[in-house]
Every structure is written in C-alpha cells, then in structure tokens.
Structure 1
Amino acid sequence: MKVEIISRKYVGPSQPTPSQLRNYKLSRMDQLSAPAYGSNTFYYPPPPRSGHGDLISRLEKSLSEMLTLYYPFAGRYRDEDLDAIDCCDEGAEFLLANVDCRLDQFLQEKPCLKLLNQFLPYPQDEILTTIVVAIQINKFECNGIAIGFSWSHKLGDHFSYMSFFNQWANICKEQGIQVKKPLCIGLQSVFPPVGDFKMSKVPIPIDTSKIFVTHRFIFYNDAITNFRKSTKIHIIPSRVEVVAALTWKARIVLDLEKIGRLRPSVLVLLMNLRGKTSFEVPINALGNFVQFILVRFRPDENELDFNCLLSLIRKAKENAEEFAKRSDGESIFSSVIGALREIDDELRQAKTGIHVFTSVCRFPFYEADFGWGEPSWVSSVQKPNDITQLMDTKCGTGIEAYISMEEHAMHRFQKDADILALTFRN
C-alpha cells in the first residue's frame, strides 16, 4: 500500500480571533504535560452521491468554522517552553493524500499497524512542532476516506480533542452553524498558569536503542464477561480493569523471565477527572484534566495472581476517585506532581518495572458522523515506547488493546495463556 501526499495547506478560522484572546496561556496542568502528539485515524465508507471535490470542500469549510470556536487550535506555540499559544489564526495543517487500494480491501486484510502511521500527519508522538492540530484526508480508490487526526497533548487530553472532532463532524453534517463567539473554555481557573515553570514535564520513556513494536489485541465481550464473573473480589470489575490486570500480569511474567527474579512493578493508570471532582468543570473544557494513579505490586507483600492484581487496581482507583471528590485544584495538581516525581525516580533507578496503561473506552469515537455515516473503524497508532492503550471495538462491548513493547518481548507476550484465551491478535 502506498500513501502519497498530494497537497498541504493551512485552514484558518472563518472569523478572526479577537485581539484580547490572542495570547492563550496554558493551565499549570497543561504546562506539565509532555510535548507530544496524540493521534487517531477514522475510516469512512464511500459517501453517497458526492464527489471528492465537494466532500473536501465541506470538510475544509466546516473545519474553518470549528476553528472559530476553538481558536487556539489555529494558533502556534511561540515560546521555547511551549507554555503559551499565539492565537494568530495561521490555521490547522490540512493535508490531502491518495491511497492506492480500496478501503474494504485494506480493512479485510488485517492491516499492519506500521502502515496506519502513513495516514497521520504526525504519527510519532514524541515529536512536537509549533502546530497544534493537523488533519490528513486520505482518499482510497473506492472513494472511501480515512481522516488522520494529530493533536498536541500540551493543550489538551484525549477527551478534549474528541469533543473538538465530534463537534467538527456535526458542523460538517449540518453544513454550517451560526458562529457568534468563541466557545473555548480552558482550565486556567482550576490550575492557574505559572510564569517560570521549572517542574520537569511528564516523562516519556523512549529508548532509541531498542526496537519497539505495537500489536493490536482484540478482547471479545464473551471472554471478558467470563473473567469478570469468575473474579474473587467483592465488586464485579469493569472490562478495563480485567484487561489491565491480565496484561499487567503478563508483563510482570515477562520481566521475571528476563531478569530471573520477581521485582516490584508499577502500573501507571490515567483517570479522566471530568465529573469526578467536588468542583464543577464544563464537560467540554479544553485542557489536560487527568489524574495519575500508581498501582504497586510488591513481591514481598503480593502474590503474582490475577485476582490479587485486580484487587490492587480496584483499590487504587477507589482511593483516587475518593481523593478527587474531596480535593481542590491545588491538591489534585500536587498529587499529579508527586506521582510524576515517583515515576521519574523509578525510571532513573531502574529497579522497578514501569508499565503505562491508558484507556479511552467509552469515549465517543464512533459518533463522529460527517454526514455520510459513522466510521467503520477508528485506529490508534504504532508507538515507539512501552505503553498500552485501550479503545472500544465498534460494537462497544469488546476492547481493542494497542500494546507496545520490545520486539523480543512481544513474541513471548502473545504466547501468554490468558492472552491467547481472550484475544484475537492483529
């Protein structure tokens, strides 16, 4: 498969950003976030009764209208520390590409995840330019389309950008809105910016000397349900908790085989704080509003057992949710700082296995309808570091796990008995 970029331009807001909104300062939580891109690709069947030219024009026009509401997305990072955005209306990057195959053929052939990166403007998440948002429209021979969406993690979390993407889709479907004023609401009132921010950013453990691969494992609903019912903890766990415990256990076993002894392990979970705090935050608030949860496995205290790991995860999440309910913004920020310092220390000492685990299950990926139906599939990306990300399957009951690790470890991981029993691998 070949993906050829045929054009590149910048789409600005349909209305100029007011001068008083020109300087957008990131919240303190955003300042702390890693200078990286997040990405997803949305695959759509051929639209009925519409040529590509009309379709591209609609996408571009609706994006321009959307950028009037989310004006920082059309701006540029200006300072070295990436702590503020000049809302200069230079625009989101907008690329068009041709793909030399049919979409249905591509999806049926269980695509190699490395190929998926070609659909994205910025697939390597550890690289960040001054551009906040970039979109790549990939046109297949059958007129099917894949929309590659890359976005700066400095300005917002996954939930923020899904809100943007779905609102863009709705504007395109309705073919326009009456744009009256910018609707961008940040988290600066909760996490006030700091002028000379010296705290180290979120660590991204990337080792260029190692070869990482990403595989997609599909956990089917029936298999997950059976595991949920067979657990020995007092509350039936969620789908995400089951998959987290299973994959964490398999990673600890890999670590044991590698170094010849059982050592401590930390599972790093990210929890979306929207709707979980004692103070109100608009559901569409732009920014990074997450809590880091560190779940610790200690060989001298814990058994290497699925139910034990599941209990550790459940207890850590319950504690984090209870903390969020009784804490203000300052306390939450201090907690995040403390967690990041612990992670950084563990990485430096290299005495503990660190496994980063994120979930965007229940996020409305499959609601993004631009006017010709919901996406057939939404994919993540090949990652150059050790991380697991969960997404819903299209039906909403299964889970797609994008698991990245060293190549030699992946060969052993995919042979784990529980992983084999519960998944289909791509």
Structure 2
Amino acid sequence: MSSSLFDHLKKSLSMTLTHLYPLAGRVKDVFTLSCNDDGAMFVEARAVGVDLSSVVGHPRMETLCRLLPCNPGEWPSEVNEYAVLAVQVTEFRCGGIAVGACLWHGIADASTAATFLQTWATISRDGDDSKIGGGFVVDCSGIFAPRSVDANQTVPWDGEAAREGQPVTKRFVFEGSKIATLRKKLATSSGGIITRIEALTALIWAAFIAASRERNRDLKLHLLVTAVNLRNRMVPPLPPNSIGSTLHIALAKLAAAEASVDECGLRVAESIRRVKDPLVRAVYGGGGAGAPPESLAEAMEKGSEKVGAEEGVGCLITTSWCRFPFYEADMGWGKPAWVANAAVGMNTVVFLDTADGEGVEAWAKLREEDMFRLEQNQDFATLVSLTQTV
C-alpha cells in the first residue's frame, strides 16, 4: 500500500468527522462526552506472514483483535484521554486491506457504526462530501433525559461463568433457506410473524437453556436480554443515520423447564414488540415522567426472588448487527469481502449478515461445557450450516 493511499484515507476520515463531529471528541467520564475536536486515532499497520484470505477463511479472535487499534475488552485507566473513535488500516502482503474501528459504546451502537463506515466510504470513494446529507446529530434530550446511572449495572456479565470454566467463542453460519424453514414453523405455532433474528434467537436461547440445565439442575428461571434499536420505534421516527447509542433493553423471562423453541419464540417476539414509543417515553422521559429503566441487576434480583435463590437464574444476551449497510461500505476498491465483530461478551450472541445478505452469522461466547452441549442439541445442530472456533 502506498503512503498516498494512507494519506487519502486520513483525509477522507477528517472530512467525515466534520459531519459526525461527536466522534472527534474525547470521553470525559463514563457517561459524558467532550466535543473538543481533538480528532480520531488513526493507526497504519502491515500484516506480516499472513494473507487476508486466511483471516476470512479461518478466523481467529486473536487475529481479528490485532486488526483493531485498541482492545475492546479493556477500559483505559485515564478515561478523560480516551478517544471516542480509533481506526486501524492494515495492509496484507497479498494486497488486501482490512479496516478496523473501535467506537465508544456510550455514543455509538451498531447503527452508528454502520453510519460512520458508510459515510467515510462514500467520501473516500467520491473524493468529496458533496453527496453527504444531514441528520447525523439529533437532540434527543427531550426523550432521553439525563440521569445518574450505575456503571456497574450497564453491562450484563455472568460472573460465575467468568470464574469457572474456560470461555469459547464460535461462529455459526445459518443459510437463508434453513432460517426460512424455522421462521415458518415458529410463525405457525405462534400465529404471528417472526423475524429471522427472532427465530434464530429462540433457537439458540432454547438450546442454551437446555445446556445450562444439564450443568445446573437448580436452574429455575432464565432471562433473555435483547438490545433493540429505537430509531424506527419512536413517533415520529428518529433519522436512521442519527448517531448515538439509541437502544432499549428488551427483557424476556421463561421458566427453564418450559424452554421449547416454540415457547422461546413467543417470549422473544413479545419482549421486542413491547418496545414502542409510549413505553420508551415513559421509561426515559424527563421530569420523573416514568420509572427508571430496569437494569439487568434489578431484573436478576427480581427473578431470583421468585425462585428463592440467585443461583437459580440464568441469562443470555443477544444483539443484532443485521440489515445495517456494512457490506455497502465501498471505499473505492470494492465492497467488503467480510464483516466481523471481535467484541463478543460472555454469554452473548451477536448476529451479523453473511456477505450474500441471505444468511446469518451468529457469534457466541459461552463457557466450554455449555458450548459443547449447545452443539449437541438436535434442534440447533440440524439448522447450522457451518461452525468455526474463533
């Protein structure tokens, strides 16, 4: 890669940040951003002894993390010096290029990440920003009133799984035809419309509960935490390209003994459909208009009260990056060959589109014995097209 191409990407990134200016700021504290225009971090890198095809064909989490400018699992000791956005461009000996980005989750969700990459790609490809519209920065303070939040309750974490049992991350690929079959089955049993991500969530949740019950016979209640994009659920809708971490947590609860795929499908769909404009405004509205949102810690506590012991409650977290235009981000040398997410938390499943847009990749991080039992589950195994340890 010539230095002129690195310079071109730096210049186009700089132009991009004039439109998405909060991404050029610094994290003041855990929940405050300073729009000081200090800029993004840009790292130039070259991969030694590896081709891009091997990374795409045989992904390894440690390799993917080396394509990022920072460790997504670490929080810096000096928070006020933390860049909101960091980018790394890596050149491979085969001529391939990887673009890795880390964004502060306090202002950037999957939709924001897609907006940033698509905007940067358009400016890089066209050489100017004449085709860039507006609507990136929206004042949502009337809907999402500022309030004090306990940082320890914002990220769900299975402490027991972290202490006991080696975590394993795997990538499961589901073909579009198999997803369609599962959707049809669940739609018939529920009498309603089930999206492809709801269907896959139900499949994995049921299999995970079954695996957890084999390990823990005292498991009584299971929770599903799903991140829901609020942009198209507000009235009027927020601009689809607006930046921010505009999410709400949909919470589904199910007695572990009732964890069939059909029942999980019903609970998944119900929890997501409850996330509508009136609920959002009641929960997040200013002036004490509604109760504060239920944190996962509070939900776990309530759940454990029902079964008499916290050890009897399990949890799975899911988030979907599907249907965002990651594969449309053509920076001038063609659309991406593959899009991946190297930041997968414990007991978490992240869904991404396959390159053809028909199938879905599910990236799951579980304790080793749970992962083994998940893969042995017949309902799950018959629908998986490809499994890779990453």
With the shorter chain as reference, the TM-score category is: 0.7 to 0.9
Q: Identity of paired residues, percent?
A: 28
Judge conservation of contact 2:344–2:350 (CA < 8 Å) in 1: no
Deviation at 1:328, TM superposition (A): 5.8
Runs of 4+ in 1 over 4 A off after TM superposition: 178-183, 198-201, 332-336
Inter-CA distance 226–206: structure 2 relative to 1 (3 Å threshold): closer
Aligned position for 1:97:
45
Equivalent position to 1:376, from 337, 346, 358? 337
Tell me the equivalent position of 1:74: 24
Amino acid aligned to 1:356: I
SS state at 1:89 partner:
coil
Task: For structure 2, list consecutive stretches of 5 or more residues without a partner in the other structure.
Answer: none
Q: 1:216 aligns with which of 134, 146, 171?
A: 171
Amino acid at match of 2:375: Q
Cα deviation, 1:330-367, whole Å, max 9, x if unaligned, reads 43465661254533535893331111111111111101
Question: Does 238-247 or 283-292 show the bigger shift?
Answer: 283-292
Cα offset, 1:395, TM superposition: 1.1
* Matched position secondary structure for 1:338: coil
1:138 aligned counterpart, secondary structure: strand
Matched, 1:84 2:84: no
Q: Give per-residue Cα distances to partners, 1:63-87, cap 9 Å, x unaligned.
A: 0111112222122123xx4332222
Distance verdict in 2 for CA 1:94–1:336, change over 3 Å: farther
Match of 1:425 in 2: 387
Cα distance in 2 for partners of 1:198, 1:310 equals 31
Q: How many residues align?
A: 366
* Cα shift at 1:384: 4.7
Change (3 A) 1:230 1:394: same
Residue deviations 1:211-238 (CA, integer Å, cap 9, x gap): 3221000011121122222332212422
- In the alignment, what sits opposite 1:363? 324
Letter in 1 for 2:387: R
* Alpha carbons 1:213, 1:410 under 8 Å: kept: yes
Residue identity matched to 2:208: R
TM-score, normalised via structure 1 length: 0.79
Tell me which moved more, 135-144 or 203-212: 203-212
| C-alpha distance in structure 2 between counterparts of 1:331 and 1:279, whole Å | 17
Structure 1: which amino acid aligns with 2:163? Answer: S
Distance change in 2, residues 1:410/1:198 (3 Å): closer
Q: Tell me, yes or no, if the aligned pair for 2:317 and 2:349 is still in contact at 8 Å.
A: yes
Aligned to 2:140: 187
**Are 1:123 and 1:381, in contact at CA under 8 Å, matched by a contact in 2?**
no
1:246-290 Cα offsets, whole Å, 9 max, x none, are: 100111111110112451101111111111122342222222221
Structure 2 counterpart of 1:234, which letter? G
Counterpart Cα distance in 2 of 1:233 and 1:414: 26
- The equivalent residue for 1:264 is 221
Distance 1:107 1:281 in 2: 35
CA distance, structure 1, for counterparts of residue 115 and residue 363 of structure 2: 22
Residues 114, 325 of structure 2: 8 Å contact kept? yes
Distance 1:185 1:234, change over 3 A: same
CA RMSD of aligned residues (A): 2.5
In structure 1, distance between residues paired with 2:133 and 2:175: 45
Deviation string for 1:7-54 (max 9, x for gaps)? xxxxxxxxxxxxxxxxxxxxxxxxxxxxxxxxxxxxxxxxxxxx5322
Find 1:304's aligned residue among 226, 238, 259: 259
Task: Report if the CA contact (8 A) 1:120-1:135 is conserved.
Answer: yes
Between the aligned partners of 1:125 and 1:279, the Cα distance in structure 2 is: 36
Contact 1:113 1:215 in 2 (8 A): no
Contact 2:253 2:267 in 1 (8 A): yes
Q: Secondary structure at the match of 1:294?
A: strand
For 1:151, which of 78, 87, 103 is the aligned residue? 103
2:129 aligns with 177
User: Where does residue 113 of structure 2 map in the other structure?
Assistant: 161
Match of 1:281 in 2: 238
Give the letter for the 1:76 counterpart.
Answer: R
Unaligned runs of 5+ in 1: 1-50
Tell me the TM-score normalized by structure 2.
Answer: 0.86
Matched, 1:56 2:13: no
Q: Distance in 2 between matches of 1:341 and 1:187?
A: 26
Mean CA deviation greater in 177-186 or 286-295: 177-186
SS at match of 1:275: helix
Distance, in Å, in 2 between the alignment partners of 1:388 and 1:183 is 28
Q: Name which of structure 1's ranges 225-234 and 345-354 shifts more when overlaid on structure 2.
A: 345-354
For the Cα contact (< 8 Å) 1:162–1:365, is it kept in 2? yes
Q: Distance in 2 between matches of 1:354 and 1:158?
A: 22
